[in-house]
Amino acid sequence: MPKLVVVGSINMDLVVTAERFPGPGETIPGTGFARYAGGKGANQAVAAARAGAAVTFVGAVGDDPFGASLTQGLARDGIDVARIRVLPGTPTGTAVITVARAENTIVVVAGANGEIRPEDAAAVPLSPGDRVVAQLEVPLAAIRAAFEQARAAGAGTLLNAAPALEEARALLPLVDILVVNEHELGLLAGRAVDANRADEVADAAARLRATGCGTVVVTLGAAGAVAFGGGAERVEARGHRVAAVDTTGAGDCFVGALAAELARGEDLAAALRFANAAAAVSVGLPGAVPSMPTRAEVDAMLAGK
């Protein structure tokens, strides 16, 4: 089976829950605290591994208890962690997350994630059919090196352009599949996009494809997702109505599941359906990595069980 190489962030998520979000300068009582494995890269890697993909992770952690715990957790999910560097004197990435009424706010401190080097990302042997997956919580130079290595080896590339970053436009000619939400789509296209306006979404996607980017996948939350390119003008996948507990990591779950299905040889429409269902399952559980579903759980969602 082709492998997925995820170049990305690893964070320890420190999560507080409350009835509502505090305003500036305000202190409110919380209702709970938990610590979870997270980071967009780690979330996507675990989602892909639990969907059945063979995953290699490229990243960095500090020489602290968080780093050791997070690396061991990835290994337990069957992910190859040999390419994760341990950096003395550098803290492991951390995210402070507030969850209120199933929505969240997040502050991320990059720590070791900001020290991933281009040579780290370009050092993994690749074969035709493999796919390199990246997000924007690590240095752009490392992502570029990984994608250039993929192109040279005949492997595919998938970029989740999150968190939103204008500088990511320079990567688009190296991207085979781009995954963005409404805000990220608008930022990269240089104009605001209303996700309820199909013409605006299509026009923005066309602008990105004109840069040399391949397929553009736009996630629409509970409404599902729509893709432009990939051999079809437009491919849509409906969302699922579920009772959301915590939306943290849902977008990452979508990306990891999508990459896993494409690596399995599924067509874009089937991969979108699977990814939407995986994300729907994930919001029913708290935390990021802990909420990533297994293939059996996603299949059950698709079967209506």
Q: For residue 15, report the phi and psi dihedrals to the nearest 5 degrees.
A: -115, 125
CA distance 59 to 93: 11
Nearest residue to 259 (alpha-carbon basis) of 271, 243, 241: 271
Q: Where are the beta strands (DSSP E) in the chain?
A: 3-7, 11-18, 32-38, 54-62, 80-87, 93-100, 103-109, 131-134, 156-160, 177-180, 215-219, 224-229, 232-238
For residue 220, the Cα-to-chain-centroid distance in whole angstroms is 15
Q: Which residues are CB-contacts of 267 (< 8 A; sequence separation ≥ 6)?
A: none
Q: Answer yes or no: are the C-beta atoms of 252 and 43 closer than 8 Å.
A: yes
**Candidate list 199, 252, 267, 299, residue with the active-site label:** 252
* Whether residue 252 lies in the annotated active site: yes
Q: For residue 92, with 0-12 CB atoms within 10 Å meaning exposed, 13-18 middle and 19 or more buried, which class applies?
A: buried
Asked whether 157 and 149 are in contact (CB, 8 A), the reply is no
Which residues are marked as active site? Answer: 252
